[in-house]
Structure 1
């Protein structure tokens, strides 16, 4: 299988880590890249904030070398402002620019950005055109199936974006109306793949290696974008890559490795942002690590109370205690823990 390329940038793997507001900060991106994400993307950044040089927003863009290509995602609905935003961040260290045409959040779509753009394929094309005119990097697009059941526009929007020069298109196989309700439409990914010549990534409901293999097999897409499914489980990338590349399934991480990953991720968040900002954000990140554990409901309560870095040790101790009470032996250290 030929390696997947983003213009002239070869991607190490075909499973990539999608952007999520409030989650995909630098420590989270680094963790996913270390476990095999083919690329990572920043939290979405407002084009207007970039044009007005909002330093808080710019801090979201900080790249941390992590062994995988890194993209910055911008959102907005005015082509000229999107172009100016691209020019404003040209000096920063990143590999490609991603345009958000998929966010369903009311505060984003009420301004006409995110998945609201899916109602106007011509505008989608104009935005890509303006961004490309102001950057030296490849431009990618993340979109949805459409706005609602009466406006399934992914194929038209993808064609407009390709014609304007987009290098890759990721398709979340739900409409904006469906938000994140379970169940995706693999057929729309297949239709977009048939309609354009640039690489197409399928996105939505990938929680296992089998989900990824099914998506690629049934749609012909070039790779998969995983987001929520990898939170608290960066090893999902290892399992998916092995399945897509025909390699043996990797060993599952033991509890020690999972807790080491959690701890390191939160430590890095605190190093970069300080305890006051990082710890409230860490509550949501750590909850995902409780998936599948015995006593997960009571452990999530611990996650909600995280205020200081040392609270992480109490959470981890509680995790081990709960597993022992359930008769499991969590002290198995046969596998090398996460560094």
Structure 2
């Protein structure tokens, strides 16, 4: 089989498995990736890991490079600006279990771009080319690229970058429909993604503002992309992959999860986070996930303000459990009241 057999296998699956989890720093850790795959994501890319060798054994880097027991294929994203450091980082991650290496040229964060990494690399196409050539040559696994339309609006250079990526041997290109200047403002633009797809022969994965089954179908149909990548819309809503997969397959909407399922998923996620990170970090990292899961639920703002004050995992778990138990009890009371009202109407 070819060097890119893992990528080929990914795209030889039903449409439901062409749903990718976007790499998000501080979010797409192993517990989150595992949960998204459980709900139907066909592929998930790790949080970005710096190519700086002096930080490789830091606590944060070790968490991000933990793939123990993860469902294949395992994709490790690397970030940096020096071609040789990135090549070494790629070799390290392959030795660590990665079956795919993903290069980050899309992160818009100031602290990343200030080091001429992430989307800042798009300002220097010669450097982009050297990085792509060097990393692809360094490993015997598929190398993918995650990037944006360009650095500045009006100076989008993705067509040249995409062509150069294909020439370098990049196995697949994930493209966010914004420039670095856009950050996450404005709306994602899909016309250039469509042009890229028409111009190159390697798989193209469309990313940006895909937050519903209808939007997923529209982006796939409009761009002709081989897959779609979902990021922020999956935060606190990992079942979005199940919903999209069902819609793409049947054209019908899947019922949203009820409160009991949300409770079960969240508590299970918390248990995994506690085990993965330990007491101190587990409690603190879980807070943002709890906030995402509970957004829009009854009395959730008051609940979150109290939840943020909890300093240990056992109490945090109990607070979350109690909140959902109260929601479930209130739901039963409402149902009983509705039934009683109907009965009274029937009596009259």
Fold shared, TM-score > 0.5 on shorter chain: yes
Match of 1:99 among 80, 97, 103: 103
Whether the 8 Å CA contact 1:201–1:224 is kept in 2: the answer is: yes
Q: Check if 1:284 corresponds to 2:269.
A: no
Runs of 4+ in structure 1 off by over 6 angstroms are none
Q: Which has the larger displacement, 298-307 or 26-35?
A: 298-307
Q: Which has the larger displacement, 218-227 or 288-297?
A: 288-297
Number of matched residues? 326
Q: How far is 1:322 from its partner?
A: 4.7
Asked which structure has the greater CA Rg, the reply is 2
User: What is the CA deviation profile of residues 12-32 of structure 1, one whole-angstrom value per residue up to 9, with x for unaligned ones?
Assistant: 511110111111111111100
User: With structure 1 as the length reference, what TM-score do the two structures score?
Assistant: 0.89
User: With structure 2 as the length reference, what TM-score do the two structures score?
Assistant: 0.87
Structure 1: stretches of 5+ with no match in the other structure = 331-339
Mapping of 1:111-190 within 5 angstroms? 111-190=115-194
* RMSD value, Cα: 2.2
User: What is the CA deviation profile of residues 72-123 of structure 1, one whole-angstrom value per residue up to 9, with x for unaligned ones?
Assistant: 0000111111111112223111220000000011110001000001122332
Q: How far is 1:66 from its partner?
A: 4.2
Q: Check if 1:205 corresponds to 2:209.
A: yes
Q: How far is 1:317 from its partner?
A: 1.6
Separation in structure 1 between the aligned mates of residue 129 and residue 43 of structure 2, nearest angstrom: 24
Separation in structure 2 between the aligned mates of residue 5 and residue 235 of structure 1, nearest angstrom: 28
Whether the 8 Å CA contact 1:284–1:303 is kept in 2: the answer is: no
SS at match of 2:174: strand
Partner of 2:322: 317
Q: Which has the larger displacement, 121-130 or 155-164?
A: 121-130
Separation in structure 2 between the aligned mates of residue 168 and residue 328 of structure 1, nearest angstrom: 51
Structure 2: stretches of 5+ with no match in the other structure = 337-348
Separation in structure 2 between the aligned mates of residue 302 and residue 218 of structure 1, nearest angstrom: 45
Partner of 1:336: none
Whether the 8 Å CA contact 2:122–2:151 is kept in 1: the answer is: yes
Q: Which is richer in helix?
A: 2
